[in-house]
Amino acid sequence: MQHRRSFLKKSIALTTALPIFNVLKSFASSPIKASKPNGLIVSTWDAGIRANAAAWKIIGNNGTALDAVEAGVKITELENNCCVGLNGRPDRDGFVTLDACIMDDKNRCGSVAMLQKIKHPISVARAVMEKTPHVMLVGDGAFQFAIKNGFKNEWKGLSKDSKIEYKKWLKESKYKPIINIESGKRNHDTIGMIALDKDNNMSGSCTTSGMAYKLHGRVGDSPIIGAGLFVDNEVGAATSSGVGEEVIRIAGTHLVVELMRNGDSPYAACKKAVERVVEKSPNNTKEMQVGFIAINKKGQFGAYALQKGFQYAVKTDTYEKLMDSDYYYKNQREE
């Protein structure tokens, strides 16, 4: 596994090799004047670096964005430090329940929610898309479908780290999502990835164990097309991370794509979607994180979040970098 510091060194080296990127502030959107990249992958959080590398093996070899976004996030579904798959944190009753979805350039989409015991929910979501007339399967139905389609029950109980964290949590049993989920050495519990391949087609994927210690049965934004992920091959693609309820409320990624359709850059569209969260939420948005990332058909990318700390990983044929997203609550977080 690549250490973040060594990656950052590498990205500085890459930035130096590409003068046009030197003028970028780390949270800026992609450069308007840069020529269109020959393939582009953007994904949420620092785990995105490793996921992008796996996805690039496909796009770099003229593969499809669809294959790339599945292969990329499968890497994250196996990691222990990212809490996305079966190593993730449980709900309040001790069950690890997984949500995932995928969408391609032909408006096809597939999704699973509250799926248990399966290592690669993203691949089950793809099977829903490709093998059924439906978009979404949930719970035991999703599990039975997975088993019938060759997936294995690979549940071996809570991971060592999840067990320790869960025991600690049980002492107070308070549901209080932590901004950027920076608890201990394991952080985040979601990866969203959006990609443009060399044939100029886009796809996206999103997979998560959901908010830690949620109510049993709770489903977040990540498996919901138009909330956690949306792709329109004529326009662009977007995915989200953070408190899913806030993203669902505004149909977040559909909003981002529609804003891009109306002429906004990926950065501007993500920013407006975050502002919409603040405007519409009945909750205190100062106490939570929501972040969006987006790409468009011109190969530009952008991101915006409620709070400091939202990161996203970008990969093209000549460029790779972990970016700090711009964010809404500047004064509040910097005080």
Q: Which of 210, 226, 236, 302 binds ligand SD4 (CB under 6 A)?
A: 210
Q: What binding mask, one character per residue, do residues 137-176 give for ligand SD4 by CB under 6 A, x or -?
A: ----------------------------------------
CB of 248 to ligand SD4, least distance (A): 8
3-class SS of residue 123: helix
3-class SS of residue 167: helix
Asked if 88 touches ligand SD4 (CB under 6 A), the answer is: no
Q: Which of 239, 241, 265, 296 binds ligand SD4 (CB under 6 A)?
A: 241
| Residue 190 bears catalytic tag | yes
Closest to 247 (Cα-Cα) out of 273, 269, 216, 279: 273
Q: How many CA atoms lie within 13 A of 131 on its CB side?
A: 13
3-class SS of residue 162: helix
Q: Give the interface segment with ligand SD4, choosing from 150-158, 162-170, 219-227, 274-282 (CB under 6 A).
A: 219-227
3-class SS of residue 124: helix
Q: Which of 42, 59, 115, 181 binds ligand SD4 (CB under 6 A)?
A: 181
Q: Which of 64, 205, 207, 222 binds ligand SD4 (CB under 6 A)?
A: 222
Asked if 191 touches ligand SD4 (CB under 6 A), the answer is: no
Helix H or strand E encompassing 204: strand 202-208
Dist CA 323 CA 44 (whole Å): 10
The β-bridge partners of 240 are 292
Closest to 269 (Cα-Cα) out of 238, 299, 290: 238
CB of 317 to ligand SD4, least distance (A): 29
Nearer to ligand SD4, 37 or 48 (CB): 48
CB of 244 to ligand SD4, least distance (A): 2
Write out the DSSP string of 214-258.
PPTT---STTSBTTTEEEETTTEEEEEEE-HHHHHHTTHHHHHHH
Asked if 205 touches ligand SD4 (CB under 6 A), the answer is: no
Angle, CA of 60, 326 and 53, to the nearest 5°: 20
Asked if 60 touches ligand SD4 (CB under 6 A), the answer is: no
Nearer to ligand SD4, 67 or 189 (CB): 189
Q: Which of 189, 232, 264, 326 binds ligand SD4 (CB under 6 A)?
A: 189
Residue tagged 């003068």 (tokens): 19
Among candidate residues 44, 64, 190, 285, the one labeled active-site is: 190
Write out the DSSP string of 11-77.
HHHHHHH-HHHHT--TTS---SSSPPPSSEEEEESTHHHHHHHHHHHHHTTT--HHHHHHHHHHHHH
CB of 4 to ligand SD4, least distance (A): 17
Count of positions on this chain that bind ligand SD4 (CB under 6 A):
14
Asked if 211 touches ligand SD4 (CB under 6 A), the answer is: yes
Asked if 220 touches ligand SD4 (CB under 6 A), the answer is: yes
CB of 309 to ligand SD4, least distance (A): 11
Asked if 221 touches ligand SD4 (CB under 6 A), the answer is: yes
Nearer to ligand SD4, 11 or 253 (CB): 253
Residues marked active site are found at: 190
